[in-house]
A = this chain, B = another copy of it.
Amino acid sequence: MNCEIICVGTELLLGDIVNTNAQYLSQKLSYAGIDVYHQIVVGDNLERLVEAISIASKRADIIITTGGLGPTDDDITRYGIAKALGVGVVLDEHSLEKIKERFVRSGRPMPFINERQAYIPAGSKAIENNNGTAPGIIGEYDSKIYIALPGPPREMKPMFEEQILPYLIQKSNYTIKSRTLKVIGVGESALQEKLGDIMLKQKNPTIALYAKEGEVHIRITSKEKNSNEADKKIKEIEHKIICILENNVYGYDDDSLESVVNDLLQKRKLTVSFAESCTGGMISSRFTNVPNASASFLNGIVCYSNEAKINILGVKRETIEKYGAVSMETAGEMAMCIRKLSKTDIGISVTGIAGPTGGTKIKPIGLCYIGIDTGNEVKVFSNIFNGDRNKIRRWATTRALDILRRTIVENL
């Protein structure tokens, strides 16, 4: 089965918004074993929408539209589908009830124009929208499936996931399973070399690499009639990859580096504190994205000025004067000071030059020292990151969290 996605909205053609709906639907459909050969965007223009649907009807089994289901004159999708199919639109009483109820609940009077949202092409079914007023539409005509979804992602996604995807999977005969291994510390090219051509070119399961900032994701995807068989094949490949990459695989699927580090700390009942200079609070901020971070993270100091490093964190003035704020020595002392001051098991520090100014020949922009004090020993890692100010800060943050992760896994 193959599907064509038609996104309706002049705001997409003006470039006011990026088309995340097309990506979301393509990804979900691909996981479900349904091929997408075309994504189309048209504006709020009936004639062009009808043309797009007519073209899609000739080449796809499933046509999914997003957007254009609102109550205003600009919202033309229901009429576009009806016209392309040569049918009229009819009032769906149940949808009208639901829309009215929604307005009653919100305490606002229903504008008359919202009644339009209850109209659907004759012969279609309305799909309930639990997150907005616009019902979706599903219809089968001449063995083709037509689906219309609302445009706002927060309405579209739950409707697709809960009501459309199960319906489509039931029409397909395959199960697609996938698993993502998250790798840090090995670049994409080095990874290709380590895994080898044979592995990367094999079909079912397929292995795909995706370079992300500071990490690479390996997606293993298996397509089988039997769900257990798909799981088994993925497990085998996963095991092989882990044997090759070992600790460089930090997590799976929805794991983030910070959630993995937080889990490791909590399992070992360890606490941590951060002393940040050039990252300016980014490590603390990223770490506290994780719910329950408070069990392992106690305190951070963003000692942006030298006086803050000396007076608040407790770094010796002589150290900064002799070696500079960006130095191995200062980084090491920062890690010791933050650990002691915060009474945590581990202290992490970062000091560096994020730019755009402040670099010298000996200490170029991108130079970052990351210190870690575990109570048993203090280590400082020297790094040079490329890119603009924020990229350097993000890379330093990722590297600091990864140093923390590896230290826990290997030593604590």
Contacts and interface: CB of A to CB of B under 8 A. Distances in A.
A279 interface: yes
A56 to B, nearest CB: 11
A41 interface: yes
B308 A304 contact: no
A134 interface: no
A220 interface: no
Interface in A248-294: 274, 276, 279-285, 287-289, 291-294
Contact of A19 (B23, B27, B210): B23
Interface stretch (A63-71, A135-143, A295-303): A295-303
Contact of A18 (B18, B41, B279, B301): B18
Contacts of A282: 281, 285, 288
A24 B17 CA distance: 9
A299 B291 contact: no
A363 interface: no
A294 B303 CA distance: 10
Given A280-B288, A298-B307, A299-B302, A27 B15 contact: yes
A397 to B, nearest CB: 9
Contacts of A28: 15
Nearest to A291: B356
Contacts of A39: 12-13, 19, 39-41
Interface stretch (A42-50, A78-86, A192-200): A42-50
> Which of A14, A27, A283: most chain B Cβ within 10 A?
A14
B37 A45 contact: yes
A37 B42 contact: yes
A357 interface: yes
A125 interface: no
Contact of A17 (B23, B41, B298): B23
Interface string A308-350: 1001100000000000000000000000000001110000000
A5 to B, nearest CB: 8
B305 A298 contact: yes
6 A-B pairs with the lowest CB-CB distances in the bound complex, closest first: A15-B27, A280-B288, A281-B284, A281-B281, A300-B302, A15-B26
15 contacts: A12-B39, A13-B35, A15-B27, A15-B29, A39-B39, A40-B41, A280-B297, A282-B285, A284-B285, A289-B390, A291-B389, A298-B308, A299-B302, A299-B304, A301-B302
